[in-house]
Structure 1
Amino acid sequence: MWACKNEGEDARLYQAVKACSEFAISLGINIPTGKDSLSMKQKYKDGEVIAPGTVIISAAGHCDDITAVVEPVLRKSGGAIYYINLSGDRYKLGGSSFAQILNKVGTETPDILDAGQFKTTFNTLQELIKAGKVQAGHDIGSGGLITTLLELCFADRNLGASLDLSALGDQDIIETLFAENIGIVFQADASAEAILKANGVVYHQIGTVNETAQLTVKNASGNWSFDIDHLRDVWFKTSYLLDEKQSGPVKAKERFDNYKNHVLNYSFPLNFDGKKPVIDAAKPRPKAAVLREKGSNSERELANAMYLAGFDVKDVHMTDLISGRETLEDIQFIGAVGGFSNSDVLGSAKGWAGAFLYNEKAKQALTNFFKREDTLSVGVCNGCQLFVELGLINEDHEEKPKMLHNDSAKHESIFTSLTIQENNSVMLSTLAGSTLGVWVSHGEGKFHLPYAEDQYHIVSKYAYETYPANPNGSDYNTAMISDQTGRHLVMMPHIERSLFQWHWANYPEGRKDEVSPWMEAFVNAREWIEKLAK
């Protein structure tokens, strides 16, 4: 993004492109394509404004092992905290966030002095990560070293660190903390030091983790202490002020008050071993189908969950049912998926429901399926809205449940937790008493249940009644309900998107599970059908 054809700008652009080219060649990577805007100048009656030259690069790389991803939150049980100045340059404040809040620009910005050393350090860190020696890490970006250190503490409670930055030099503490020299802070085993030394990487051990919400920093010139809980709120306040514009002052304040108190605490089933289901290849797989409509999504995740649990899974689009190509006669388990069927222009799944109600073949296929006593179904998110809209869950109720807009009046996409109640659900009765993490993503997920709570088979509730852990304000804190037989289940959370350990935004530390406990729901469905066949 450059203001070409202005004095000195073409020469500066040439220097920038040359520097990018030389750096990429030194690293052994390429910049495959580009999009430029070379008219970054605005003229006014009384003057003109030239935008500063900017290079924006989106980087991508291959991930060999998604389970080895390092997260930006310090581990209370982990090793020491280390710092590497990847730039090799002295600390400079030009162009930094610190300079900007003082309404300044500065004259010197940090550079990377040695591309070869940068490459060696990067590859060494990858080696450490693959060897399982790194427990946490965060790059130095906007805000400098102090922002990185604080953010490493924000994602947990009662977490802090004691740091000694004396080894970084005796320059002004402001430069040390706020310079945006490219670098990394990471937490690692002591054995990592030998590998760093062997590769000639300059590193500094700067501190240790503690279980007090304080970040203490010292160097040769003084000592400083930062209150993590207070600064976490300062850090979040920008989001809170924006949230007021979307959700209004009441829900925005509720989120601001609760976001740090809705701690993710889990209770896994005692018999859960984390292993993938073992499927007998000699036995025929029960037949399952994934139902979808225009605008649906997550069909692959749901199909994968069914397949891993031992089902032979068929993809069924509404056009298959409407045309009569599919009747569901040989299907015993159906899953209606999430998404935004028909763009939800008529409301949550109302267009999808209409496709059943006003197309005789589709209507008959679904009616016949639900009448059979050897069938199971699960409706997830948009699929939940569909089955509720069609009145399939509480057929004996004169006034049916409804799915309403979230109390926040906006789409909610969060990772939250819920507790499985004592229930009669075929899929989830064995998980009763468990509290598990799960993804939520919906705009109209509020269960409106017009009768008393005991008139419904509530299978699961959010772990906290308040927003945002309960993202929609459902009656009785409801996340999932089933029909009276327990064979038909609807839910707003996406258990099919929470199937693996690496799906979860937060997972119990130290576990190496092949699947999460949610897999049991799909295995239960298969085993129920197999018992029926005997």
Structure 2
Amino acid sequence: CSDLAIELGINIPTGKDSLSMKQKYKDGDVIAPGTVIISAAGNTDDITKVVEPVLKKNGGNIYYINLSNDTYKLGGSSFAQILNKVGTETPDIKDASLLKKAFNLVQQLIRDEKIQAGHDIGSGGLITTLLELCFADPGLGATIDLTTLNESDTIKLLFAENIGLVFQAEDSIVSVFENSGIACHKIGSVNDTGSLSLTNQSEQHNLDVAHLRDVWFKTSYLLDKKQCGPVLAKQRFDNYKNQPLNFVFPAHFDGKKPILDRNVKRPKAAVIREKGSNSERELANAMYMAGFDVKDVHMTDLISGRETLEDIQFIGAVGGFSNSDVLGSAKGWAGAFMYNEKARVALEKFFDRPDTLSVGVCNGCQLFVELGLINRNHEEKPKMLHNSSAKHESIFTSLTIAENRSVMLSSLAGCTLGVWVSHGEGRFHLPYGEDKYQIVAKYAYENYPANPNGSHFNTAMLCDDSGRHLVMMPHIERSTFQWNWANYPEGRKDEVSPWIEAFVNARKWVEK
């Protein structure tokens, strides 16, 4: 490792990496096998110039580079492990300078948008890489011919873990590698049959991608059964491939950042946070981009009276784990308002004013619901309960925005947009009928895991009767840029996502 790092001109961070990982369950503990971990980090100088490990149906042919420059060896591989073997020979990197040259060239081609998709070869070997490139898009497949790699042993070729790359690009890319002395092999093309067709010399195999995707997912399913029980684990296993992310953007959306008049004074907004909060920077940035002058307000500011919110028109209570959630999500935070008079009065006066707006995101949603600020006239208030899965859920899902009276989101009615979710107590418990609530948005699919928490009426966002005060469990502030999304409509190069409109709507309302 040391010699290779020196040749490559990189350093390996030192420090303690745990060799013992234990997860406790009601019926016993699961101990992960001891694994030596070498940590590394890479710099991305342009987040918009990246490729994803998903083949594109119109993205060109498929190419392979053996970065190890070594022959194919099965020692130490996952394939050997399942046969209860270790092996005698492991692949090595024979020429560090060639690896460095190839890596830098690939990076430049990505910056130049010459490469459309790509995946490294590691655990599981070439066959795993090829399959994973097909898994994310239902119906996607590939037709592969490995004959040019000159390895007659197909098992070695498919399962050896020689470091390498598989990527998709136009044919003109071959000459770029040839001119740099790097062997780049064209190995196939994309198909839409949902089959991975493999040829190596006279040997042929046809693999069903959908079936093998279930095999690949089964390990997660078995772990899921231990975490959230057999019913929801089976729902996730059945639904993960049947809940596609299909988006509907607003017709008026042009993808541009908001244009602001610098001669107009920015209205004042505040981000409210507590010990253990996070995402305050993302929320502040969304507010600022939309045209607000944003103030950072900690609970100590409100408790001490240093901050009264009297000059603030828009507040955002952020996500995270206030007080480490030791009393339950946001309950400690709510107590900090309820049992500190200056903080309580400041918030009450803010909500009583007719010229104010608020948004509570995730932990902030739990806070405002716990304080009874959204359905103030209801005798029995909503509650935020633990997810039906009884575990923290962190996924990228989609929401459909209903016809609604929310100041922030009424203009996006009819849209279906992607968004991040990350919570353990995100289940809206709404004791009355659906017609008693102003439900702003619902998860695009009612069933788990697209609905990650089991909320009544599939609720993801709720506002008060005035439309001025909005709460949500999903993180729109973490989804304001195209590169935030785990999946985004192909071909777009937007500066912002449609979610920024919610914050622009807030600023326009305040300025009226």
TM-score normalised by length of structure 2: 0.95
Identity of aligned residues (%): 77
Within a 5 Å distance, the mapping from 1:192-271 to structure 2 comes to 192-271=173-252
Residue 502 of structure 1: aligned partner: 483
How far 1:33 moved relative to its partner? 3.8
Please point out which of 82, 90, 104 is paired with 1:101.
82
Looking at structure 1, the residues matched to 266 and 223 of structure 2 have their Cα atoms a distance apart, in angstroms, of 50
Q: Which residue type is aligned with residue 369 of structure 1?
A: F
Q: Which residue type is aligned with residue 149 of structure 2?
A: L
Residue 78 of structure 1: aligned partner: 59
Please point out which of 318, 340, 343 is paired with 1:337.
318
Please point out which of 368, 373, 387 is paired with 2:349.
368
Q: Does 1:283 align with 2:283?
A: no
Looking at structure 1, the residues matched to 265 and 400 of structure 2 have their Cα atoms a distance apart, in angstroms, of 34
Mark the CA change 1:326 to 1:34 in structure 2 (over 3 Å): closer, same or farther. closer
Q: Which residue type is aligned with residue 87 of structure 1?
A: S
Q: In 2, are the aligned partners of 1:170 and 1:221 still within 8 Å (CA)?
A: no
Looking at structure 2, the residues matched to 265 and 31 of structure 1 have their Cα atoms a distance apart, in angstroms, of 41
Residue 106 of structure 2: aligned partner: 125
Structure 1 unaligned blocks of 5 or more: 1-19, 39-51
Please point out which of 383, 406, 411 is paired with 1:425.
406
Please point out which of 156, 165, 174 is paired with 1:175.
156
How far 1:106 moved relative to its partner? 1.1
Please point out which of 420, 424, 446 is paired with 2:427.
446
How far 1:34 moved relative to its partner? 5.5
Please point out which of 94, 109, 113 is paired with 2:94.
113
Q: In 1, are the aligned partners of 2:273 and 2:298 still within 8 Å (CA)?
A: yes
Q: In 2, are the aligned partners of 1:91 and 1:175 still within 8 Å (CA)?
A: yes
Mark the CA change 1:196 to 1:247 in structure 2 (over 3 Å): closer, same or farther. same
Residue 415 of structure 2: aligned partner: 434
How far 1:60 moved relative to its partner? 1.4
Residue 467 of structure 1: aligned partner: 448
Looking at structure 1, the residues matched to 13 and 337 of structure 2 have their Cα atoms a distance apart, in angstroms, of 48
Q: Which segment is superposed worse, 191-200 or 181-190? A: 191-200
- Secondary structure, aligned partner of 2:345: helix
How far 1:443 moved relative to its partner? 0.4
How far 1:24 moved relative to its partner? 2.2
- Secondary structure, aligned partner of 1:58: coil
Mark the CA change 1:54 to 1:402 in structure 2 (over 3 Å): closer, same or farther. closer
How far 1:54 moved relative to its partner? 8.3
Q: Which residue type is aligned with residue 471 of structure 1?
A: P
Larger radius of gyration between Structure 1 and Structure 2:
1
Looking at structure 2, the residues matched to 297 and 277 of structure 1 have their Cα atoms a distance apart, in angstroms, of 25
Mark the CA change 1:36 to 1:390 in structure 2 (over 3 Å): closer, same or farther. closer
Q: In 2, are the aligned partners of 1:288 and 1:312 still within 8 Å (CA)?
A: yes
Q: Which residue type is aligned with residue 394 of structure 1?
A: N
Residue 523 of structure 1: aligned partner: 504
Residue 24 of structure 2: aligned partner: none
Looking at structure 2, the residues matched to 503 and 467 of structure 1 have their Cα atoms a distance apart, in angstroms, of 23
How far 1:333 moved relative to its partner? 0.1
Q: Does 1:482 align with 2:463?
A: yes
How far 1:307 moved relative to its partner? 0.5
Q: Which segment is superposed worse, 477-486 or 110-119? A: 110-119
Mark the CA change 1:273 to 1:109 in structure 2 (over 3 Å): closer, same or farther. same
Q: In 1, are the aligned partners of 2:144 and 2:199 still within 8 Å (CA)?
A: yes
Looking at structure 2, the residues matched to 56 and 366 of structure 1 have their Cα atoms a distance apart, in angstroms, of 48
How far 1:26 moved relative to its partner? 2.1
Residue 44 of structure 1: aligned partner: none
Looking at structure 2, the residues matched to 22 and 343 of structure 1 have their Cα atoms a distance apart, in angstroms, of 43
Looking at structure 2, the residues matched to 468 and 54 of structure 1 have their Cα atoms a distance apart, in angstroms, of 31
Residue 28 of structure 2: aligned partner: none
Looking at structure 2, the residues matched to 487 and 56 of structure 1 have their Cα atoms a distance apart, in angstroms, of 50
Residue 385 of structure 2: aligned partner: 404
How far 1:500 moved relative to its partner? 0.5
- Secondary structure, aligned partner of 1:146: helix
Please point out which of 163, 166, 184 is paired with 1:185.
166
Q: Which segment is superposed worse, 483-492 or 219-228? A: 219-228
Looking at structure 2, the residues matched to 29 and 318 of structure 1 have their Cα atoms a distance apart, in angstroms, of 43
Looking at structure 2, the residues matched to 405 and 61 of structure 1 have their Cα atoms a distance apart, in angstroms, of 37
How far 1:63 moved relative to its partner? 1.1
Looking at structure 2, the residues matched to 228 and 467 of structure 1 have their Cα atoms a distance apart, in angstroms, of 23
Looking at structure 2, the residues matched to 54 and 230 of structure 1 have their Cα atoms a distance apart, in angstroms, of 30
Q: In 1, are the aligned partners of 2:13 and 2:40 still within 8 Å (CA)?
A: no
TM-score normalised by length of structure 1: 0.91
Aligned length: 499
Looking at structure 2, the residues matched to 55 and 89 of structure 1 have their Cα atoms a distance apart, in angstroms, of 24
Q: In 1, are the aligned partners of 2:441 and 2:461 still within 8 Å (CA)?
A: yes
How far 1:120 moved relative to its partner? 1.1
Looking at structure 2, the residues matched to 358 and 35 of structure 1 have their Cα atoms a distance apart, in angstroms, of 42
1:345-370: CA deviation from partner (whole Å, max 9, x where unpaired): 22121111111111111111011001
Mark the CA change 1:187 to 1:431 in structure 2 (over 3 Å): closer, same or farther. same
Looking at structure 2, the residues matched to 454 and 31 of structure 1 have their Cα atoms a distance apart, in angstroms, of 58
Looking at structure 1, the residues matched to 213 and 18 of structure 2 have their Cα atoms a distance apart, in angstroms, of 37
Looking at structure 2, the residues matched to 53 and 286 of structure 1 have their Cα atoms a distance apart, in angstroms, of 55
Q: Which residue type is aligned with residue 175 of structure 2?
A: A
Residue 349 of structure 1: aligned partner: 330
Looking at structure 2, the residues matched to 388 and 36 of structure 1 have their Cα atoms a distance apart, in angstroms, of 40
Residue 151 of structure 1: aligned partner: 132
Looking at structure 1, the residues matched to 18 and 143 of structure 2 have their Cα atoms a distance apart, in angstroms, of 46
1:432-462: CA deviation from partner (whole Å, max 9, x where unpaired): 0000000000000000111111111100000
Mark the CA change 1:368 to 1:54 in structure 2 (over 3 Å): closer, same or farther. closer
